[in-house]
A and B are shown apart, each in its own frame.
Chain A
Amino acid sequence: MNVEIAGVTRRFGRTQAVAGVDLEAGPGVFGLVGPNGAGKTTLLRMLATVIPPSSGRLRLLGRDPGGYGGRRQIRRRLGYLPQNLGYYPGFTVAEFVEYFALLKEMPPGQVPGAVAAAVERVDLGGKARSKLRTLSGGMLRRAGIAQAIVNEPDLLLLDEPTAGLDPEQRVAFRALLRDLAQRATVIVSTHLVEDVGAACSEVAVMDTGRIVFHGTPDELTARAEGTDAAGDSPLERGYSAVLAAARSVAGARS
């Protein structure tokens, strides 16, 4: 398993963003869905070693990210696309991707080829020499994806990766995810349920810091059966049903 987490919590002052999550994930595309404030981004940031958990056990790629050595090893094999992607406006696309390839300690000899391949895979080959400040929002997102995949990561964490992509690019992106997931664990945090249905082999629904559902997209769809959950697609109705059930249980407890 590339991702093993047990009883992980994360607090920000009095706010508990993640409240005891257990999760295991191997190669494949893992979708993380949930409403705003459910704790998806916090969980992803913990998986990306940006922040440590407040409690619980976390193992990534077979290593403990608590120690610097293990964390460094993980980071070499990690790809991460944050929700709010910053960028250096003066860098070209190729420089931006190369910069992160070097920061990920890729062997320098492999960097040029890896950069060219990553840029091509996100369909920015024609813009490789363009400054980032000249790109559209969707193109910037693709440049962000390129830097995340440049090191052929074994663990790829993508926070709202399809935000800003046009429908054609979104379809191509899902194909890319499936391709990457042949070898790596790809965790995609999204609020677009259709992305999950199209690309994910597993899905987890988060609400108020907890995972309230973990299964396949088909299993999520099946949760809508016999309910009057709202949604434009079967998967959306399943998602709504899961959330409604979780909230009714939580309401009954309180």
Chain B
Amino acid sequence: MTAATAPARPAPPRARRVTPAAGPVRLLRIELRRSPMLWLLPLLAVLFYVSTYRPAMGNPPFWNIRSAMVQSHTMLVFAPLLAGAGAWTGSRDGRRGMGDLVGVTAVPRWAGQFATWAAATIWAELLYLGGVGVLYGVTAQQGAWGGPPWWPVAVGVAVVAASCALGFAAGVRLPGRFTAGLAALVVFLALAGGAFAIQDNQVYGQIWPLNVQGPFPPDSYGIFYPYLPDLAIAQLMFLAGLAAAALGALGLPAAAGGRWLRGAAAAVTVAGLAAAGTATGLAGTARVEAHGMVIPALHDAASDRPARYTPVCRPGTVPVCLQPAYRSFMPEVNAALGPLLGQLAGLPVAPVRVTQVAVTTVQSTPGNGINFGGPVIRGRPAVLYLPLAGVSLPGEGHTSAAQFAWFLRDQYAQEIVNELVGLPAGAVAIGLNQVGNPGHAAQFAVARALDQVLNLTGPPPPNDSSAPGPAGGDNAGSAPTGRSGRAGPGGTASDASSSPGQMQDAVDRFAAMSVAARHAWLGTHLAALRAGRIALSEIP
């Protein structure tokens, strides 16, 4: 101590202008410099790379796929860790025996705690947004069509803040060295429980913060129509409400501050709980519509207007036009559908053009599943409307280009043939016996012959386990409707007037015809075949 030599009083205040916010800002600056969250940043960066960046780069450069990952993949690993780090930060005063010292300062304890929480949260947000920035930057460089959706990022930001706040509040209330681990575990279990809740209950469980667009696979929205923010808005309300309630509750004890401050804390807590409850209620009204999850009370009709784009077309006998985001898949689409379209060109009801559409039909199924309709032929002249929603694209989920083409051939091309010959939807699946129309036997035989000739039912390319079904990911739906193969002659595909042998004979006869003869026969008999007026024996 240097009482004798040191100045008796601190140096006089320097003559400089000090803004009113300088005190809190300086407090925050100290907390930022010394926040325990800094120690966690390298781990979070590695986890972001492993959980999000690397899987995202393994997928095609679609904004919707990659933006879904920054919400669901990132937050699954971030949220528990951040809750733990928040709890560690919040328990600091308790663990360090600082309660008395910080409890007798003039600044309300609540304000001091807020600065500590804010510092931890700011670092976590900066890391998250930095990771998203890199991911989005690379995606833009890869030529992704359209613009990045920011709603999933906003939800991610809210998850970060809420996780830190919940953990922080737990740490303040229960200061101890095990609180951090417990907070992380509880948040992890809550997220895992949410995954189950959303499967069992399509109503309130939709608020689950990792839920991007309900059952919609990531590549099935936000391209033909704007990204529907309804669910994201509800999630933001929910998460902001949770964070406000957690932080507000810290201001309720008598030691937190004065009457007004505690009143404000109570108001914040109540408002937070109300917001979270309201958001959960709103999520309960969410329903599956054609282009995403719609919450009527939050829905903006402007989101229902189709996005403008100029299709990318490949000229030919039957031109194929794709949405520009799918430009790079044109070769696979042509390879899969080209031979069939060539065979059918010129027939009365054959499509003269192929146009990609968002979806043909969408149907939610129990267990938070979804069914997308397959291709449909409509209009005069006929146009084949081709949806690729829910189909794993090359590069998505380890799907190869060959597997994608095989899927289009095996599923979509067969559906096109079905529709062309007039087989009713579901006829193959339920069995012709139950359809009861003998004309379907001929339709079936012709369809099967075309399958055979065009090799539509070949074996899948190697690595069958990853053959493209509906897009993977957290929100993968079930297979598009009508995508089952045709049964063999001895299976369900026979009717009362035909034996399996007769059916196979008809298939073989029709397949053995020359291309020109088959085309000519179809040209003259397709209308009758579609009407069910051709018997099996009439097939040449």
* B residues contacting the other copy or chain, number (CB 8 A): 41
Whether, in the assembled complex, B516 has its beta carbon less than 8 Å from a beta carbon of chain A, the answer is no
Is the CB of B315 closer than 8 A to any CB of chain A? no
In A158-198, the 8 Å CB interface with B consists of 169, 172-173, 175-179, 182
**Of residues 53 to 89 in A, which have CB atoms within 8 Å of B's CB atoms?**
68-69, 72-73, 75-76, 78, 80, 82, 84-89
Cα distance A88–B88 in the bound complex, in angstroms: 13
Q: Does A113 touch B at the CB level, under 8 Å?
A: yes
| Contact among B1, B4, B33, B107 with A103 in the assembled complex (CB-CB below 8 Å) | B107
A contact residues, total (Cβ < 8 Å): 58
Known contacts A82-B100, A113-B11, A117-B6; 11 additional CB pairs below 8 A are A50-B100, A72-B258, A86-B97, A102-B107, A105-B107, A106-B23, A110-B10, A121-B3, A123-B2, A169-B1, A176-B2
Q: Which residue of chain A has its CB nearest to the CB of B22?
A: A108
B residues 2-21 in Cβ contact with A at 8 Å: 2-4, 6-14, 16, 18
Identity of the chain B residue whose Cβ is nearest the Cβ of A48 in the assembled complex: B104
Q: Interface of chain B, helix or strand or loop or mixed?
A: loop
Would A173 and B1 be within 8 Å (CB), given that A105-B23, A105-B106 are in contact? yes
Chain A nearest CB, measured from B34 CB (Å): 5
Q: Which of A104, A113, A172, A182 contacts B2 (CB 8 A)?
A: A172
Contacts of A111 in B (CB 8 A): 26
Distance in Å from the Cβ of A211 to the closest Cβ of chain B?
23
| B380 interfacial contact with A, CB 8 Å | no
Kindly state the separation between the CA atoms of A235 and B169 in the bound complex, as whole angstroms. Answer: 50
Let me know if B23 and A50 touch, CB within 8 A. Answer: no
Nearest CB of chain B from residue A99's CB, rounded to whole Å: 5
Q: Does B167 contact A (CB under 8 A)?
A: no
Q: Which residues, 71 to 123 on B, are CB-close (under 8 Å) to A?
A: 92-93, 96-107, 112
State which of A48, A103, A113, A179 has its C-beta within 8 Å of the C-beta of B3.
Answer: A179
Q: For the complex, give the distance between the alpha carbons of A166 and B112 in Å.
A: 34
Q: Please, how many angstroms separate the alpha-carbon atoms of A152 and B106 in the complex?
A: 14
Q: Mark B60-73, 1 if CB is under 8 A from A, else 0.
A: 00000000000000
Q: Tell yes or no: A120 within 8 A of B by CB.
A: yes
Q: Interface code A93-123, partner B: CB below 8 Å = 1, 0 otherwise?
A: 0010011101111111111111011101111
Nearest-neighbor residue (CB-CB) of A173 within chain B:
B1
Chain A contact residues, majority secondary structure: helix
* A45 sits at the interface (CB 8 A): yes
Ranked nearest first, the 7 interchain pairs of A and B with the lowest CB-CB distance are A172-B1, A86-B97, A68-B258, A103-B105, A113-B11, A117-B10, A176-B3
Q: Choose from B27, B93, B98, B100 the contact partner of A45 (Cβ within 8 Å).
A: B100
Which chain A residue shows the least CB distance to B36? A90
Residue A40 at the chain B interface, CB threshold 8 Å:
no
Which B residues are in CB contact (< 8 Å) with A120? 2, 6-7
Complex CA distance for A114 and B105, rounded to whole angstroms: 16
The reply to whether B26 and A84 form a contact with Cβ atoms under 8 Å apart is: no
Chain A positions within 8 Å of B34 at CB level: 88, 90-91, 95
Residues of B within 8 A of A82 (CB): 100-101
Of B1, B4, B13, B36, the residue contacting A107 (CB under 8 A) is: B13
Measured CA separation A48–B105 after assembly (Å): 10
- Asked if A175 and B107 make an inter-chain contact with CB atoms under 8 angstroms apart, the answer reads no
Least CB distance, A242 to chain B, in whole angstroms: 29
Closest chain B CB from A48 CB (angstroms): 5
Measured CB to CB, the nearest residue on chain A to B17 is A109
Contacts A86-B101, A90-B34, A103-B105 hold; do A98 and B26 have CB atoms under 8 A apart? Answer: yes
Q: Within 8 Å of chain B (Cβ to Cβ): is A10?
A: no
A142 within 8 A of B: yes
The distance from the CB of B61 to the nearest CB of chain A, in whole angstroms, is 42
Q: Does B308 contact A (CB under 8 A)?
A: no
**Cα distance A221–B6 when bound, in Å?**
33
Asked whether A103 lies within 8 Å of B112 as measured between CB atoms, the reply is yes
Contact partners of A87 in chain B: CB under 8 A: 96, 98
The complex places the Cα of A142 from the Cα of B34 at a distance, in Å, of 21
| Residue in contact with A175 in the complex, picked from B1, B97, B259, CB distance below 8 Å | B1
Q: Is B222 an interface residue (CB 8 A)?
A: no
Cross-chain contact B1 with A108 (CB below 8 angstroms): no
Minimal beta-carbon separation of B177 from chain A (angstroms):
14
Q: Is A208 an interface residue (CB 8 A)?
A: no
State the CA gap A178–B156 with chains docked (Å): 57
| B39, closest chain A residue (CB) | A90
Name the B residues within 8 Å of A109 (CB-CB).
13-14, 16, 18, 22
Please report the C-alpha to C-alpha distance between residue A100 and residue B112 in the assembled complex, in whole angstroms.
11
Q: CA separation between A90 and B98, bound complex, in Å? A: 14
Kindly identify, within residues 11 to 53 of chain A, every residue whose CB is under 8 Å from any CB belonging to chain B: 45, 48-50
Residue of A49, A68, A73, A99 touching B104 (CB-CB under 8 A) = A49
Q: Which of B36, B98, B257 has the most CB of A within 10 A?
A: B98
